[in-house]
Amino acid sequence: MTNIIYFGDNLPILRRLPDKSVDLIYIDPPFNTGKVQAHKRLKTVRDDQGDRIGFGENSYRTEVLSELAYADAFSDYEAFLLPRMQEAHRLLKDSGSLYFHIDYREVHYCKILLDQVFGRENFLNEIIWAYDFGGRARDKWPAKHDNILYYVRDRRNYIFNRDAIGREPYLAPGLVGKDKAERGKLPTDTWWHTIVGTNSREKTGYPTQKPVAILERILRASSNPDDLVLDFFAGSGTTGQACLNLGRRFILIDNNPQALETMRRRFAGIPDIQWELEPTR
């Protein structure tokens, strides 16, 4: 069983892979937040409490019009994402699935983009991964969840191994009867799981590392042993680790040398990994 790790921009690498060759894609792309600053629109308004004196000796302050900045950021992000999502769709087998990991700031735009590529009818779930860890905002509701959009290539024919998914306790076991309470329930679309903790054994030091248990749940539900799983924003290689744990094959891609270094350490001593480290054009 050969697994492959590529170093380089994912788009040209994806374009070289054959049609309908992958069973499952999980991706956790970065946000194009830098562009928000680049496209900031400013407006100067009179304000007695303003921080500077201007025309007519009046006091003024500067207001940031964030709406335009946001829209600009999105149009860049869409241009980055769209061709990669078209490749993802081309690469999936007819029975294949996509899990797209994002957060509350971009999820609505990504949903619209993915509806266009995969078809709205092939959208099955928005999974909420809820955690309760780290710093808390004091001026709004602390944001403590990520969103995972789950699409299939064809909703009439896809893999969903409900019996392979670990069951969990009912919140109110007294309401469902003894047998059901003992068996537990199939997880819903809201998954409670802590982030990778500072002292956790799985911690690699890569800043955006996701918990391997989240990936294992996805793999159990939407792939079978020996299936091929693709993650083209691989980071620390969490998807690869879950594949090794569950007997799936993987292709991982990342263009950050630190991600490659992290995966080198994480997979040290694992045979059957082919490292494609020459950047592709």
Positions touching ligand SAM (CB under 6 A) are 9-10, 28-30, 206, 208-210, 233, 235-236, 238, 253-256, 259
Cβ proximity to ligand SAM: between 95 and 191 the closer is 191
We find the least distance from the C-beta atom of residue 154 to ligand SAM, in angstroms, to be: 26
We find the least distance from the C-beta atom of residue 193 to ligand SAM, in angstroms, to be: 13
Cβ proximity to ligand SAM: between 95 and 221 the closer is 221
We find the least distance from the C-beta atom of residue 47 to ligand SAM, in angstroms, to be: 39
Q: What is the DSSP string of 125-158?
A: EEEEEE---S---SSS----EEEEEEEES-TTS-
We find the least distance from the C-beta atom of residue 137 to ligand SAM, in angstroms, to be: 21
Cβ proximity to ligand SAM: between 91 and 95 the closer is 91
- Torsion angle of the four alpha carbons 198, 199, 205, 211, in this order, in degrees rounded to the nearest 10: -80
Residue nearest to ligand SAM (CB): 235
We find the least distance from the C-beta atom of residue 10 to ligand SAM, in angstroms, to be: 4
**122 in helix, strand or coil?**
helix
Cβ proximity to ligand SAM: between 35 and 210 the closer is 210
Cβ proximity to ligand SAM: between 9 and 72 the closer is 9
We find the least distance from the C-beta atom of residue 196 to ligand SAM, in angstroms, to be: 8
- Residue 85, CB-side half-sphere exposure with 13 Å CA sphere: 26
Apex CA 191: angle with CA 188 and CA 195, to 5°?
A: 175
Read off the DSSP letter of residue 64.
E
Q: For residue 214, how many other CB atoms are within 10 A of its CB? A: 24
Nearest CA to 225 out of 250, 252, 202, 191 is that of: 250
Give φ, ψ of 149 to 5 degrees.
-85, 130
Cβ proximity to ligand SAM: between 122 and 262 the closer is 262
